[in-house]
Amino acid sequence: MLLFQYMRFLYLQRFMKVYFTIFILLLTNLQTTNAQKVQIALLKYSGGGDWYANPTSLPNLVKYCNTNLNTQIDPDIATVDVGSIEIFNYPFVHMTGHGNIILNPDEAENLRNYLISGGFLHVSDNYGLDPYFRREMNKVFPGIEMHELPFSHPIYHQAYDFPDGLPKIHEHDDKTPQGFGLFYEGRLVCFYDYECDLGDGWESSEVHNDSPEKRMEAFMMGANIIQFVFQQ
């Protein structure tokens, strides 16, 4: 009898955890709507990968979007742990890095709950992230694969038109850039740019010495992602 009661307690605890996080997300969306300002975040993870790479990229992207799309995004970029309930405060979370990612079961569940509750994850492979990111996303959504988005997908045709998909910002392995999406119940919850490196393109000009044309392509594609997320 005690075992049954204990198992029932665990089930109810998990059930209430999911719906509490959904409530927090809805409440946060209401508050940010009233304030007409939202904040986006950089995702912090364990495993040894440099989650903190490209420190100027998100502030520069926000500045570009606020200037050219008339968005009202807070210029202060938050940092949020993948396992923290604070992730539900941010409609858009960005992940990058060059190396390993490890999500424990609670972190994988938290990220899953965030994404199925309305959150969005953008991942930019900063070279070397790919095998680890794919492995860990299989923990977040077992059995759901990422698929390359067709060039006709709306994310490529927001404020700016990219008829051939992602621009090539950094060469890496000299492969064609690809944009992958993960869908949950028909909604795009994660967009992953591979062999493209949008995040490097958003960095301040002196960091990588990219041409103005390449940086502009990166900002325009980044603005498309932001606009797509906020219009979903």
Element (H, E) at 65: helix 57-68
pLDDT at 4 over 70: no
Tell how many helices (H) and how many strands (E) occur in the chain: 7, 7
Can you give the pLDDT at residue 49?
A: 93
Above pLDDT 70, what percent of the chain? 84
Which of 13-17, 41-45, 90-94, 131-135 shows the lowest per-residue confidence on average (mean pLDDT)? 13-17
- The CA distance from 191 to 45, in Å, is 18
Can you give the pLDDT at residue 210?
A: 85
- The CA distance from 66 to 9, in Å, is 47
Sorted by where each begins, the domain ranges of the chain are 13-231
Biggest CA-to-CA distance, the chain: 69
Identify the three-state secondary structure at position 61: helix
β-bridge mates for residue 148, sequence order: 180
- The CA distance from 181 to 197, in Å, is 16
Can you give the pLDDT at residue 99?
A: 93
Is residue 136 within 8 A of residue 103, CB to CB? The reply is yes
pLDDT at 148 over 60: yes
- Find where tokens 């000299």 sit: 174
pLDDT at 30 over 90: no
Which of 16-25, 114-123, 214-223 shows the lowest per-residue confidence on average (mean pLDDT)? 16-25
On average, the pLDDT of the chain sits at 88
Q: Taking Cα atoms as reference points, which of 131, 187, 127, 191 lies closest to residue 156? A: 191
Task: Read off the pLDDT band of 36 (50, 70, 90).
Answer: low
Burial code (b: 16+ CB inside 10 Å, e: under 16) for 27-66 equals: ebeeebeeeeebbbbbbebeeebebebbeebbebbbebbe
pLDDT at 20 over 50: no
Q: In what order do the strands lie in the sheet with 187-194?
A: 78-81, 41-44, 92-97, 120-125, 187-194, 178-184, 147-148
214-221 long-range contacts (CB < 8 A, ≥24 apart) are: 214/167, 214/169, 217/167, 217/169, 218/167, 218/169, 219/60, 219/61, 219/64, 220/159, 220/160, 220/162, 221/160, 221/162, 221/166, 221/167, 221/193
Can you give the pLDDT at residue 5?
A: 38
Can you give the pLDDT at residue 19?
A: 46
Q: Given phi > 0 = left and psi -120 to 50 = alpha, else beta, which region is 128? A: left
- Structurally, what CATH architecture does the domain formed by 13-231 represent? 3-Layer(aba) Sandwich (3.40)
- Find where tokens 């060469």 sit: 171
pLDDT at 31 over 50: no
β-bridge mates for residue 97, sequence order: 125
- Give me the mean pLDDT over the 28-44 stretch: 69
Above pLDDT 90, what percent of the chain? 78
For the stretch 191-213, pLDDT in tens is 999 999 999 999 998 888 889 99
pLDDT at 34 over 60: no
